[in-house]
Amino acid sequence: MEQHTSRHRPTGQYAAADPRRAAIIDAALALFAKAGYLNSSLAKIATEAGTSATVITHHFGSKQRLLMAVLEAREERTVRTFGRLGPDAGGDDVRALFREVLALAAYNLTQPGLIQLHTKLSAEAGDPSHPAHAYFAERYERVARSLAAGLQRAVDAGQLKPEVDPEGVAREILAVSDGLQVQWAIAEGRLDFVELYRAYLDRLTQALAVDGEGLGEPDAQRSMPSRHARK
């Protein structure tokens, strides 16, 4: 994961060693997810965390840096669980790649606050002046490059049709994932996100693979949460 530089201490290991700092990050995450960054004051976050705005400022310096700490914490959790989706991940099995993408989506459903945070902030961050704008721009580019690299390996290995556009397909996958996340959040978890996403990736595999086969049996779903996962 690419880290954001800061004059303050990193959020990961230090957050785990400092219960107060971790509690502030958790409270900020929940409030940002519920109300959005722009409508969440340090005073409200402090109330949720059982502390004061002065203490938050001491730990993070500003609301903007607290936001970055929250986003970094989200990235750290994902990377710890799904490091194989990183930019240096190898392998040319597109079906294994898509099952990993699907497993990540299912894992995200176990943390609905993070999905709500992502959907709210990504919408707000369309404004270039928003403090998370650069983060989301960089993140989309990084994830798209990672997916495109995996797809290119599958093309080179003869698993996918030679005319496949890896970058275009990667962008499409991200668009479908984000669109389903928004609908899932609006439906308050009643939408069967995992099944809809699996069906899409299955159709995509059939369309792109040289052998015309789909994902096959969803054995990767053994560890997925039950349908309609929610808080």
CATH number of the domain that residue 135 is part of: 1.10.357
Q: How far is 160 from 94, CA to CA, in rounded Å?
A: 8
* 216 and 120 part of one domain: yes
Distances (CA, A) of 218 to 14, 84, 194, 214: 38, 18, 11, 10
Q: What pLDDT, on the 0 to 100 scale, is given for residue 91?
A: 65
Instruction: With CA atoms as reference, report the closest residue to 11 among 75, 72, 78, 82.
Output: 72
The pLDDT tens digits for 121-179 are 888 888 999 888 998 899 899 889 999 999 999 999 999 999 999 999 999 999 999 99
CA pair distance 208, 159, nearest whole angstrom: 9
On whether both 51 and 162 belong to a single domain, the answer is no
Whether residues 52 and 129 fall in one domain: no
82 pLDDT band (50/70/90 cuts)? Answer: low
Average pLDDT over residues 184-207: 93
The answer on pLDDT for 229 being more than 50 is no
Q: How far apart are the C-alpha atoms of 8 and 62, rounded to whole Å?
A: 10
Write out the residue range of the structural domain in which residue 73 sits: 1-81
Residue 196 has pLDDT above 50, yes or no: yes
CATH of the domain at 20: 1.10.357.10
Contacts 24+ apart (CB under 8 A), 194-201: 194/102, 194/105, 194/106, 194/109, 194/221, 194/224, 194/225, 194/227, 195/227, 197/102, 197/105, 198/102, 200/176, 201/98, 201/101, 201/102, 201/173
- Residue 4 pLDDT more than 70? no
Q: What pTM was computed for the model? A: 0.73
Pick 110 or 27 by higher pLDDT.
27
Q: How far is the C-alpha of 110 from the C-alpha of 172, rounded, in Å?
A: 24
Query: In whole angstroms, what is the distance from residue 166 CA to residue 147 CA?
Result: 8
How many domains are there within the chain?
2
Last residue of a domain, one of 22, 47, 81: 81
* 44 and 119 fall within a common domain: no
Q: Which of 15-24, 68-77, 146-155, 219-228 has the lowest mean pLDDT?
A: 219-228
Nearest-angstrom CA–CA distance, 56 and 42 = 7
Where among 81, 113, 130 does a domain terminate? 81
Clarify whether residues 109 and 198 are in a common domain. Answer: yes
Least confident span in 2-11, 30-39, 171-180: 2-11
Q: How confident is the model at residue 221 (pLDDT cuts 50, 70, 90)?
A: very low
